[in-house]
Structure 1
Amino acid sequence: MKKNRKIRNNILLVMLMATGIIGSAQNEIDKPFGLVYRDAISENIPGKVNIHPVTYKLNDIEIAANIYTPANYDPAGKIPAVVVAHPNGGVKEQVAGLYAQLLAEQGYISIVADAAYQGASGGTPRNVDIPQNRIEDIHGMADFITQYEGVNADKIGLLGICGGGGYSLKAAQSDKRFKAIATLSMFNSGLVRRNGFMNSQVNTIQERLKKASEARAQEAAGGEVIYAADNAIPTEEAELANIPYDLYREGYIYYGNTHKHPNSTFRYTMSSLLYLMTFDASTNMNLIDQPLLMIAGNKADTYYMTDEAYKKATNAKEKELFLIDGATHIQTYYVPEYVSQAMEKFSGFFGKHINPDA
């Protein structure tokens, strides 16, 4: 069975590399608004979903965000809104933007912002990846969108994707402005940075903490910032085929080829590990008393993270775990069939809990 699976993976990989999954045009960043996902908005047309690039300050850092407004947008209205948190290393122009646009097509105002220190947002050094910052980003998006013209501040939903999903669970534990919480392919960043993916680095925890401590000391002394990962993304077929995990193999293709964006990077400061390795998105899940929907692919090698967090959400007003048949983690980002299934669930979930009159 393992041999057959490897053969299937290699065949799929060749197909992906040859076809670019959805076409080489997806790689072009000269599109309006810099969006790199399929069927992205190319121009703002009256009477249709529109996109509005905005900036705002969060703790003295300028945040770059996109707000999507529905076709029936009325600045004087009271429209429910959804905050969307992007994956680790991702930016607002990729999968988070796709789901934000699709939510706007369902009648919601949606916002997706680049994390502080990442993407087009400000903050130095670049690519700091501290959990509390990412959680604060989500609170900050809520701050901004509740003041936006036409938004009903009493009807705010939250959707977190991948790493943004883990941080959304944390944000929702205390921030009760979010009336309904959803995650897609949730990734527990702290768990993986500490133990390694599927507990593959448990034996090197102390060694990596030492490196993080040394990096922090070097930064404090005014030295060069050290990064835990560089920008080198494997692109050779043979190199990709040897990667044992679907998450990383397909992730390299998504971020390095088919949905590549210049602001998207796997880099993060080594000193960030001081915070990442003590973080766990699945702790205090009993604080979530809002409705909760968690979605993952039933073939996702990251599913164990969703499963653990979901089981701990014992006080959620109501909760549902939905598995997309046949989907891996990354495939929920772009494959039309899987995106469609996820959106059907999100539509029903948010419709029930923040837009019941639609």
Structure 2
Amino acid sequence: MAAIVGASGGAALAEDYRKNPFTLTYGGAITKNEPGQIHIHPVQYKLNGLDIAANVYTPANYDPAKEYPAVVVAHPNGGVKEQVAGLYAQRLAEQGYIAIAMDAAYQGGSGGEPRNTDKPQHRTEDIHGAADFITRYAGVDAARLGLLGICSGGGYALAAAKSDKRFRSVATLSMFNSGRVRRNGFEDSATSTIGQRLQQASQARAQEAAGGKVLYIGGGAAATDAQIAAMPFEMYREGAVYYERSHAHPNSGASPNSGGAYTVSSLLDLMRWDATDQIELIDQPLLMIAGSKADSLYMTLDSFAKASGTKNRELFKIDGATHIETYWVPQYVDAAVARLTAFYAKTL
């Protein structure tokens, strides 16, 4: 934790969203569209009647009359496009790709009520919708479309790629199977309370339907050092620092005073869903990246083992990295980007 928020590291590796004209939070974030350099283009488009907010990153010397491969980047649970998804989209643009990082419907800068609804069918549709938009973007070669999902965005990327064959290849980073964790608990530690939590989710939905208060999981004041230290899993401890301190953004569901990371009623959908259901339908090239020290690694290993439908699959462990460290630590980001660009160069 000290490595993230300490004076020697935190300021250099994160961007204060208030000082960035595009409210980007990551180190090295673009601040101005300079001639001949990569550019960022805030865009908005409709998806199922909702306004979706996104950032498109274009390569240096981008020429809309030429054709470029493109990558859709899906953000983590509680995250927004200005955080790790934007970092990886920017890094891919540096490698010659047009990349789009979008806020999920009901989250971030996108429309939809109740806020921070987090349902798998919506998150998967977000990815399909981003493909709809970016394949019509000037300069994009629709025949060379890739997908990158980060954390829970990785689980939803797997779900989208099962049926959406516009994606010629799919990659995940620190994949998080939201359905499995919401159902069974992290490391399957809460299976004894599944029934109880489903009852709570059912009651929350009934309350919403009756016009009552929308109930949330998470939200409130930022966690104290003592509260963070008491969290049982490293991913959650480091995640609290990342989302609440070092890379905080007000649109993030995981930020302090956001109202809550997701609605309790979302559990009705999350708990009956699993990223690995029918995963054998993925026949595109598949790359799964995770930190070798990540306590979430078991989800990547489980999904990779079940992805039997593709003849081209690769598992890459970033030596020494935890889950959250793959979001921001330069050496780990560099390692992930190098493997991603090699993968997309072969498959797109």
Q: What TM-score does the superposition give when structure 2 sets the normalisation length? A: 0.96
Establish whether residue 46 from structure 1 lines up as the match of residue 25 from structure 2.
Answer: no
- For residues 1-358 of structure 1, the aligned pairs below 5 Å read 13-19=1-7, 21-23=9-11, 26-234=15-223, 236-266=224-254, 267-354=261-348
1:104 to partner: Cα distance: 0.3
Tell me how far apart the structure 2 counterparts of residues 211 and 21 of structure 1 sit (CA, whole Å): 41
Bigger shift: 264-273 or 82-91? 264-273
Give the conservation status (yes or no) of the 8 Å contact 1:68–1:109.
Answer: yes
| Residue identity opposite 2:262 in structure 1 | Y
* Deviation digits for residues 63-107 of structure 1 (CA, Å, limit 9, x no counterpart): 000000001311111111000000000000000000000000000
Give the conservation status (yes or no) of the 8 Å contact 2:15–2:29.
Answer: no
1:20 to partner: Cα distance: 7.3
Tell me how far apart the structure 2 counterparts of residues 51 and 17 of structure 1 sit (CA, whole Å): 27
| Residue identity opposite 2:15 in structure 1 | Q
Tell me how far apart the structure 1 counterparts of residues 283 and 331 of structure 2 sit (CA, whole Å): 31
Tell me how far apart the structure 2 counterparts of residues 64 and 168 of structure 1 sit (CA, whole Å): 18
Are residues 73 and 247 of structure 1, via their aligned partners in 2, closer, same or farther at CA, if it must alter by over 3 Å? same
Give the conservation status (yes or no) of the 8 Å contact 1:163–1:189.
Answer: yes
Tell me how far apart the structure 2 counterparts of residues 306 and 15 of structure 1 sit (CA, whole Å): 26
Which residue of 2 is the match for residue 6 of structure 1? none
Bigger shift: 241-250 or 289-298? 241-250
Tell me how far apart the structure 1 counterparts of residues 125 and 266 of structure 2 sit (CA, whole Å): 15
1:242 to partner: Cα distance: 1.9
In structure 2, the residue corresponding to 1:181 is in which secondary structure? strand
Tell me how far apart the structure 2 counterparts of residues 306 and 98 of structure 1 sit (CA, whole Å): 21
* Deviation digits for residues 121-155 of structure 1 (CA, Å, limit 9, x no counterpart): 00011000000000000000000000000000110
Tell me how far apart the structure 1 counterparts of residues 186 and 222 of structure 2 sit (CA, whole Å): 18
1:28 to partner: Cα distance: 4.1
1:18 to partner: Cα distance: 3.0
Which residue of 1 is the match for residue 258 of structure 2? none
| Residue identity opposite 1:300 in structure 2 | A
| Residue identity opposite 2:144 in structure 1 | K
Bigger shift: 57-66 or 266-275? 266-275
Give the conservation status (yes or no) of the 8 Å contact 1:227–1:268.
Answer: yes
* Deviation digits for residues 186-238 of structure 1 (CA, Å, limit 9, x no counterpart): 0000000001111121111111100100111111111111112223331x322
In structure 2, the residue corresponding to 1:171 is in which secondary structure? helix
Gaps of 5+ in 2: 255-260
Which residue of 2 is the match for residue 5 of structure 1? none
| Residue identity opposite 1:187 in structure 2 | F
Tell me how far apart the structure 1 counterparts of residues 95 and 34 of structure 2 sit (CA, whole Å): 17
| Residue identity opposite 1:45 in structure 2 | E
Bigger shift: 182-191 or 225-234? 225-234
Give the conservation status (yes or no) of the 8 Å contact 2:3–2:10.
Answer: no
Tell me how far apart the structure 1 counterparts of residues 245 and 8 of structure 2 sit (CA, whole Å): 7
Tell me how far apart the structure 2 counterparts of residues 20 and 157 of structure 1 sit (CA, whole Å): 36
Give the conservation status (yes or no) of the 8 Å contact 1:47–1:71.
Answer: yes
| Residue identity opposite 2:241 in structure 1 | I
Gaps of 5+ in 1: 1-12
Tell me how far apart the structure 1 counterparts of residues 83 and 296 of structure 2 sit (CA, whole Å): 20
Give the conservation status (yes or no) of the 8 Å contact 1:21–1:258.
Answer: no
* Deviation digits for residues 139-190 of structure 1 (CA, Å, limit 9, x no counterpart): 0000000000000011000000000000000000000000010000000000
Give the conservation status (yes or no) of the 8 Å contact 1:86–1:163.
Answer: yes
Give the conservation status (yes or no) of the 8 Å contact 2:35–2:61.
Answer: no
Give the conservation status (yes or no) of the 8 Å contact 1:49–1:105.
Answer: yes
| Residue identity opposite 1:276 in structure 2 | L
Tell me how far apart the structure 2 counterparts of residues 270 and 14 of structure 1 sit (CA, whole Å): 32
Q: Percent identity?
A: 60
Tell me how far apart the structure 2 counterparts of residues 232 and 187 of structure 1 sit (CA, whole Å): 25
In structure 2, the residue corresponding to 1:19 is in which secondary structure? coil
1:32 to partner: Cα distance: 1.1
Q: What TM-score does the superposition give when structure 1 sets the normalisation length? A: 0.93
1:30 to partner: Cα distance: 3.0
Tell me how far apart the structure 2 counterparts of residues 213 and 270 of structure 1 sit (CA, whole Å): 9
| Residue identity opposite 2:160 in structure 1 | A
Tell me how far apart the structure 2 counterparts of residues 260 and 133 of structure 1 sit (CA, whole Å): 24
Which residue of 2 is the match for residue 8 of structure 1? none
Tell me how far apart the structure 2 counterparts of residues 319 and 255 of structure 1 sit (CA, whole Å): 31
Moved over 6 A (4+): none
